[in-house]
Structures are given as C-alpha cells and as structure tokens.
Amino acid sequence: MHHLRTRAVHAGQRPDPTTGAIATPIAQTTAFGYGTLERGAALFAGELPGYRYSRFANPTVAALEAKLADLEGASSAVAFASGTAACSALLLALLRPGDELVFLGPLYGGTEGLLRAYSERWGIQVRDATASGLEAALTPATRMVWVETLTNPTLRVHDLAAVARTARARGITTVADNTFCTPCLVRPLELGVDLVLHSMTKYLGGHGDATGGVVAGSEALVREVRRTGLGQVGGNLAPQEAFLFLRGVKTLPLRMAAHCVGALAVARSLAAHPAVRAVHYPGLQSHPQHALAQRQWQGGFGGMVTFELASGGRSAAAAVLDRLQLFTQAVSLGDVDSLACHPASTTHSFVSAEARAAAGVTEEMIRLSVGIEHPDDLVADLEQALGVLG
C-alpha cells in the first residue's frame, strides 16, 4: 500500500476520461439522464450503478468519498453538507426510540447539544460516562458509544482500542469523531471502532472556504447512514464544496505536519509562562494521557492547544484574546490561519454552565487552532498578548 501522502493525492481520483483533466471536474448538475425507462427503473431500484440525482450521489462527491474512505481505511464513506448533518444522519439512521447512547466526553458543545435535543425529541436516552467510566455506564439498552479522538476543548485522549473492545463484546456500535486528529494522526477504524466521522470544514478542507462532513466505516453501516441522511433527510454535499475538499485533502499530510510542529512550540512556550495556570496539549509530558497519545497516535500530536490563565476569569481571557494579532478570533479550527476562541462563550455556550464546569471548561480557558505560520511568530504574538496581564 502507498504511503498516506501519496494516497492523499491520488486516492479516488484519475484523469478525466473525456478531457484528461487531472483535477476532478465539478459535476454541477442536479439530475443525470438515464436513457430509457428500464435503465431508470434499475438505477432507482439500486440494481445498476450510476447517477440519477445529485441528492443521492454525484461524481465529484463520489471521488471525495472514495478518497476519504481510503485514508481512514474504510470500506465506504458518505459526505454531507456539514459535520452536524453527518452526526444527525448517523443518529437518525442507527438509533430507535428506547435505545441508549453513551458518550465519553467532554464533547464539542454543538454535538452534546444535538445529542441532548435528540434524546428529548426522539426518545433516545443519552448518558455521560466520562466520570463513571464506560463499563459502568453501559446497560442492556445501550446501542451506541460516542467518543472524540481528542476532546473539545480540554484535549483529553481516550483509549479507542479499549473503548472498541468493551463495546464490541456487547454488540454496541462505536463512533469516533476524528475531526481534531485526522487520519494523519489517528485512524480509529484500525483500532476497532465501527464508524468515524469528521467535520470536513476543519483540517480536511484546511482553508476555511468550504463546509462539509463525512461518515466512514463498513459498507453495511454506511449504506444505512447514506439512505437516511441523503435519501430521506437530504443533507447532501454540493459538488462545488466537494471539489474544494478534494483540493484540500491533497495537502493534508503536509499541513498536519506543520500544525503539529507549531502547536508543540506554542504549548511549550505557554507552559513556561507565569500568567498561565495550565496547558492542555497531548504532546507535553505533563499531559495525563501523554503515554497513551504516543502509543495511539502517529506523526505528531495535533494542531490544537488549550490553555487556562492563572486568574481573572472572562475579563482576563478577553484582554488576551483582544490583543492577539496573528491569531484571528473565530470558532472554527484546522485552517492554515491560526485561530483563537473563548470556549465558554462560543463553542460551549450550547450547554449549561453546570455542564461546562463538569467538563472543565472554565472562564479562563482559551482554545487555539495553530495554523501553518512560523512557530516563532506565533509564540511572539502570544507573549505580547499575555503581557497585558502584567
């Protein structure tokens, strides 16, 4: 098998047979002619391969799905209009009223908010196993375990192989959100997880110009997610966005290497600063799951760094954030540009103050998405911004 860098460029793509174009053409069309009634009937019945309507499948989107399935080591993948659409399709496809979902957190606030709303409206029990541990939280009704490969924003690392073993012994489907790590650093399916999802908007796209999501795994599970998410809910990715993601993924391994180098430099600098109480970064030996990250990850420790100021609450965080020059205040992540945000008032404003406190999301916390700028410049920017605290 070729190296990941090679597959990121070539998987799912070949020169266009009609024109020889190397870049996958954008199939900007809603419908596809199928010639005869008999062929159309066979296409709609799933008896023939091919395209009939872009809500169900599109050649540009299909090329992206093939590329991402290859990188994650999956049999199949399905792309959606956003990461949240991917999450919603997965839940609607695989859970029924009376089922139970157990998650290991903390989770991205939007995901936890979705899970809580879904449980209230559709009769799904949602249980947080972060404090109790997974084994103690499982019941006969548990049908799904949800985990992030690197938690948002506290950057905790979960043992994915152990999670997969525990769930599989009980016939429970496991889902890992791999947005923060990408297949460059962690491939959850290789560790026994059943389904992996991404907000492609982040590192996979990498340039802050496209919104999308993807779910990858076995053909049987992905088929159900596709049928529900595209055929019934209509959360399909547009071909223009698919083209942008195809372009972005080609440089993903190169970008992730730069993100990792920059983030480690930033984390080490912050850890030595007197105005900083704690730095959350799995590449630091002080991180409680550093050894696990070394064993489970490959090629670096990611581009996300979260730190907590020594004191001052939200006003101190605002003072630092408002002085940053190279870090743009924004809630996304994974761009080539460095970004910074205050999770308590942005990404985790979807959950209650009590839930934020339980997850360790403090008012002094700042989350950084370290871009591909030179690490020395980013460190200098943070040092000058922290200087406002005296």
CA 286-149-214 angle, 5° bins: 150
pTM: predicted TM-score of the whole model, two decimal places: 0.95
Are residues 160 and 214 both part of a single domain? yes
Q: Which domain holds residue 318?
A: 252-389
CA 58-63-68 angle, 5° bins: 125
Amino acid letter for position 318: A
Identify the CATH number of the domain in which residue 311 sits: 3.90.1150.10
Catalytic residues: 55, 108, 177, 202
Are residues 144 and 89 both part of a single domain? yes
Question: Cβ of 324: how many Cβ atoms within 10 Å?
Answer: 20
Are residues 66 and 87 both part of a single domain? yes
Residue 34 is predicted with a pLDDT of 93
Total tally of structural domains belonging to the chain: 2
Identify the CATH number of the domain in which residue 159 sits: 3.40.640.10
Question: Cis bond leading into 17, ω under 30°?
Answer: no
Task: State how far the Cα of 83 lies from the Cα of 204, in Å rounded to an integer.
Answer: 12
Task: State how far the Cα of 384 lies from the Cα of 376, in Å rounded to an integer.
Answer: 12
319 to each of 156, 341, 378, 384, how far by Cα in Å? 26, 12, 17, 11
Mean of pLDDT over the chain: 95
Which one of 250, 273, 303 terminates a domain? 250
Residue 355 is predicted with a pLDDT of 78
166 contact partners, CB below 8 Å, separation of at least 6 = 134, 135, 138, 145
Residue 87 is predicted with a pLDDT of 96
Which one of 250, 276, 311 terminates a domain? 250
Are residues 302 and 314 both part of a single domain? yes
Amino acid letter for position 323: R
Are residues 259 and 210 both part of a single domain? no
Q: Which residues in the chain show pLDDT less than 50?
A: none
Cα Rg of the chain (Å, integer): 21
Residue 351 is predicted with a pLDDT of 73
Buried b (16+ CB within 10 A) or exposed e, 65-98: bebbbbbbebebbbbbbbbbbbbbbbbbbbbeee
168 to each of 137, 165, 173, 192, 219, how far by Cα in Å? 15, 5, 7, 8, 18
Q: Are 214 and 2 in contact (CB under 8 A)?
A: no
Task: State how far the Cα of 36 lies from the Cα of 85, in Å rounded to an integer.
Answer: 34
302 to each of 149, 215, 293, how far by Cα in Å? 11, 21, 10
Tokens representing 34 are 């199928």
Residue 253 is predicted with a pLDDT of 98
Are residues 313 and 293 both part of a single domain? yes
Are residues 163 and 260 both part of a single domain? no
Are residues 373 and 350 both part of a single domain? yes
Residue 106 is predicted with a pLDDT of 87
Are residues 262 and 205 both part of a single domain? no
Residue 291 is predicted with a pLDDT of 97
Are residues 246 and 258 both part of a single domain? no
Are residues 179 and 136 both part of a single domain? yes
Which one of 201, 216, 250 terminates a domain? 250
Are residues 156 and 299 both part of a single domain? no
Whose tokens are 């547009």? That residue is 238
In a 13 Å sphere around the CA of 21, the CA atoms on its Cβ side amount to 7
Angle between helices 313-321 and 375-386 (to 10 degrees): 130
